């Protein structure tokens, strides 16, 4: 079993102004970077088949980059990252 401690990644909430500008879209098997206005996928990190997921925010750039690495490893190991984010 892989144990992953994700940095402060949390589902996006209305009025959350203290966050890094880019967002993460996380599903059971996919990870994407979204534009700040949530209209475009800026980068596909792991292309999954699941269309349901959450838009998440990080507090700063370091947490954002750490989250990408940790979530990608977790997905590629065959685990559902939403269990730890939610």
- Per-residue pLDDT tens digits for 6-15: 555 666 665 5
Query: 47-57 as b/e, with b when 16 or more CB fall inside 10 Å?
Result: ebeeeebbebb
pLDDT range class, residue 83, cuts 50, 70, 90: confident
Question: Any idea which residue has 């890094």 for tokens?
Answer: 20
* CB contact at 8 A, 57 and 14: no
- This prediction's pTM: 0.81
Query: 62-73 as b/e, with b when 16 or more CB fall inside 10 Å?
Result: ebbebbbebbee
pLDDT range class, residue 71, cuts 50, 70, 90: very high
Q: What's the average model confidence in pLDDT over 65-84?
A: 92
Question: Which of the two residues, 10 and 30, has the higher pLDDT score?
Answer: 30
Q: What's the rounded Cα separation, in Å, for the pair 44 and 26?
A: 11
Q: Taking 60 as the threshold, does the pLDDT of residue 4 lie above it?
A: no
- Per-residue pLDDT tens digits for 42-53: 999 999 998 888
């Amino acid at each position: 079993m892989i144990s992953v401690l994700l940095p402060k990644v949390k589902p996006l909430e209305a009025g959350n102004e203290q966050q890094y500008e880019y967002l993460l879209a996380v599903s059971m098997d996919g990870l994407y970077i979204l534009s700040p206005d949530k209209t475009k996928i800026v980068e596909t990190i792991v292309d999954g088949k699941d269309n349901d997921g959450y838009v998440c925010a990080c507090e700063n750039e370091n947490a954002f980059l750490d989250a990408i690495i940790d979530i990608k490893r977790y997905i590629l190991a065959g685990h559902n990252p939403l269990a730890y984010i939610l």
